[in-house]
Structure 1
Amino acid sequence: MEAPPPDLGRSTSLWRNRAFLFLWGGQSVSVLGSTVSGIIIPLYAVLVLHVSTFEMGLLAAAGSVPYMLVGLMAGAVVDRFPRRRLMFWCDLTRALALASIPLTMLLSGTPPIGQLLAVAVLVGVMTVFFDVAYQSYLPGLVENEQLIDGNGKLSTTESVAEAVGPGLAGVLITVLGRAGAILFDVATYALSCLSLVLIRTPDEVIEKRPVPTPRQLVRDVAEGAAYVGRDRILRRLAQFAVTVNLFGSAYGSLEIVFLNRDLHAQAWMIGAAAAIGSTGGVLGGLAAAALGRRIGSARATWLPLLALGWLVLLVPLAQPGWGFVLVGLGTAGNVASIVIYATGAVSYRQATCPPHLLSRVTSCLRWISWCSMPAGALLGGLLGTLAGLRAGISIAVVGCFLAGLWLFFSPLRRMRDLPLARTGTENTGKTLDEQPEPSLAT
């Protein structure tokens, strides 16, 4: 007779799920700390090291390059180790890397730009592996029907951290100084480590295999990419993510310049527009689970993109004066709709992918999304230069809005709820046999 499965502490309410609460709490403080250090370190480079524009570009790129370099193969590596243990070591490594900056301040007074670049790259690499591991670990802590609620809570706190992080960074620098502010981020990673230790759910290795050879790594990555290509819903999610990140990054690269030069916005207006936009992510995360229950989780992935996403079209209509409010509202509508979409999209992936493929599918989709962002930033600069700021930002926001058509013309339009159950077998990774999907041209 088989032994009963271990008690995962699951219940109908995530507020009584001890394991999830520890994961949620640890991830929340970690994201807040990362937001703070993401502002303090570049500020230190400008004010203290007086770095050149080129060096600032290198520092900005150092944090994102790891996503492109190791993001695709991260899932194949994550599958070979206990996910919770891997997350712990990623957090610990990030904490030690960041702690080297105030330590150098104490010993020699001025960390060189080379050290800041090395820390940014190392933290970026660890973040890639941590993010893939924790998105693959969540389905082991909650029931499938709780995934949308769980991902919504995680998205909400991430949005809150991004909203309050800049202001908190200023307060911490004033009260604790630059070194103390960086140590705040170190402390948040330490708390995240502690939260992972306190989770009692048994850690699981999906596939106990040795560290892969390059050939095995390529084969594993190809298997995850092939699963994305076979699954019609995942394929549409990937197409949407590439499109919205491309035009969203183009918009992001022009937004502040547009506010400053075309709208003649003062610093407080630019900050207010950013704050209004950030509330969209918070409200979207809070509404995701309730909206999914109300109109159906499948409809909630695409309907808000059309019902709320159109607000981004208001941005090019903004004029000097109070026009910055339109920029904030447009950004809020866009961010809210994408957060609601992402909550359902991630939940679908977590619930339906066979466990032995989940990390590889996750890293494949994240890599595709991240690679379109640098191209989008370059596109924004090109559009702003050739067509002008208002015309360039108009093209960017129209692209963001029309990206939702990838999901409208997909199997999701015929569903009320996402099929939050595995539709293939763990050995073959077969996907759901669906009816032919409608063409984008229809």
Structure 2
Amino acid sequence: MSSGETKTVSLRTQIGEGLRHVFGSRHRRALAISAVVVNFGTSVISTMLPVVFVREFGLSSAALGLFWATGGAALLLGARSARPMAHWIGYGRTIGTAGLFLTPGSLLVPLIDRWPWLFLAGTGWFLFMFKMGMDNVLGVTLRQHMTPDSLRGRMNATFSFLLTGALASGAAVSGLLGELISVQVALWVGGIIASTAFLPVFLSPVRTLRELPGISARRKTPKPVS
């Protein structure tokens, strides 16, 4: 066997280990599926937004930029609020239960039109992106704590592949829907898919996690008597 073949087998083994680690646990599998769904839905929506603003409704590029900036601000605020919320109601509950109230905001985005519908769609976009910002912090924190050091690189590589693939495929699906059916259908498909992103975590054991894995166990471990 040549050295090149050895490297290929080694890489395949590492990829397999990363996939088994992510999908072999109900906790990590739920986090992965939820992240893939939210990235896919968000990509479907975002791909169509310039078409909706500029071509469909003749809105200015400044209006589109303001809409996207609203989402960016919501991401930042959600990320900033993630830890305080997790300490208050629990890490798993924040990701899972809060999704009941915030993630369905994506269903307001397809209602986008001129004022006042633009404001309503922007509000839904803000709520959805706020939840996404919280998940970006808490989801990464949880999966890092659920992974030993020896597998952390492979776990992160697996997540990166899945999430990047979801963005690319979401953009492709959005373009096909917009071309073959209509822009509004593409927005509704993206909004509906994104609104379900909390369900994999909500229906998994992740929702019951109040603290980071390992912390409560360490607190209960008696200290050795000196």
User: What is the CA deviation profile of residues 89-130 of structure 1, one whole-angstrom value per residue up to 9, with x for unaligned ones?
Assistant: xxxxxxxxxxxxxxxxxxxxxxxxxxxxxxxxxxxxxxxxxx
Aligned to 1:260: 54
- Alpha-carbon shift at residue 418 of structure 1 (Å): 3.7
**Counterparts in 2 of 1:16-55, with a 5 A limit?**
none
Correspondence 1:397 to 2:191: yes
Q: Which runs of 5+ in 2 are unaligned?
A: 1-5, 218-226
- Alignment-derived partner of residue 207 in structure 2: 413
1:280 is matched with: 74
Question: Where does residue 110 of structure 2 map in the other structure?
Answer: 316
Answering whether residue 118 of structure 2 is matched by residue 332 of structure 1, we say: no
* Conserved? CA contact 1:352–1:421, under 8 Å: no
Paired AA for residue 15 in structure 2: V
Is residue 293 from structure 1 mapped to residue 87 from structure 2 by the alignment? yes
Is 1:231 equivalent to 2:19 in the alignment? no
Q: How big is the shift at 1:268?
A: 2.1
Aligned length: 212
**Equivalent in the alignment of 2:222:** none
1:254 partner amino acid: M
Deviation at 1:421, TM superposition (A): 5.0
Match of residue 15, structure 2, among 193, 198, 221: 221
Partner letter of residue 14 of structure 2? D
Task: Check if 1:307 corresponds to 2:101.
Answer: yes
Query: Which digits, 9 at most, give the CA deviation of each residue in 1:218-258, with x for residues without a partner?
Result: 21221121111221111111111222222211111101111
Classify the secondary structure of the residue corresponding to 1:319: coil
1:381-437 Cα offsets, whole Å, 9 max, x none, are 1111233112220111111011211111111233333425599xxxxxxxxxxxxxx
Structure of larger gyration radius: 1
The structural deviation recorded for 1:326 is 3.0
Matched, 1:371 2:175: no
Aligned match of 2:224 = none
CA contact (8 A) 1:265 1:321 kept: no
What is the 5 A alignment of 1:45-124? none
Deviation at 1:338, TM superposition (A): 1.2
Aligned with 2:36 (options 206, 230, 242): 242
TM-score, structure 1 length as denominator?
A: 0.45
| Contact kept? 1:299, 1:417, Cα under 8 Å | no
Following the alignment from structure 1 to structure 2, what is the Cα–Cα distance between the partners of residues 264 and 303?
Answer: 38
Could you state the TM-score of these two structures normalised by the residue count of structure 2?
Answer: 0.86
Counterpart CA distance in 2 for 1:272 and 1:326 is: 14
Q: List alignment gaps of at least 5 residues for structure 1.
A: 1-211, 424-442
Give 1:394's aligned amino acid. Answer: W
User: Alpha-carbon deviations, 1:283-303, whole Å to 9, x = none?
Assistant: 101101110011111111122
SS where residue 320 of structure 1 aligns?
A: coil
- The residue matched to 2:91 in structure 1 has which SS? coil
Aligned counterparts of 2:156 and 2:44: Cα–Cα separation in 1 = 24
How far is 1:363 from its partner?
0.6
What is the CA distance between 1:264 and its match in structure 2? 2.5
Alpha-carbon separation, structure 1, partners of 2:116 and 2:41: 25
When you count helix as a share of all residues, which structure comes out higher?
Answer: 2
Does structure 1 conserve the Cα–Cα contact (< 8 Å) formed by 2:95 and 2:198? no
- For 1:252 and 1:270, locate their aligned partners in 2 and report how far apart those are by CA, in whole Å: 11
Identity of aligned residues (%): 26
Q: Distance between the aligned counterparts of 1:234 and 1:422, measured in 2?
A: 19
Distance 1:396 1:357 in 2: 33
Structure-1 residue corresponding to 2:220: none
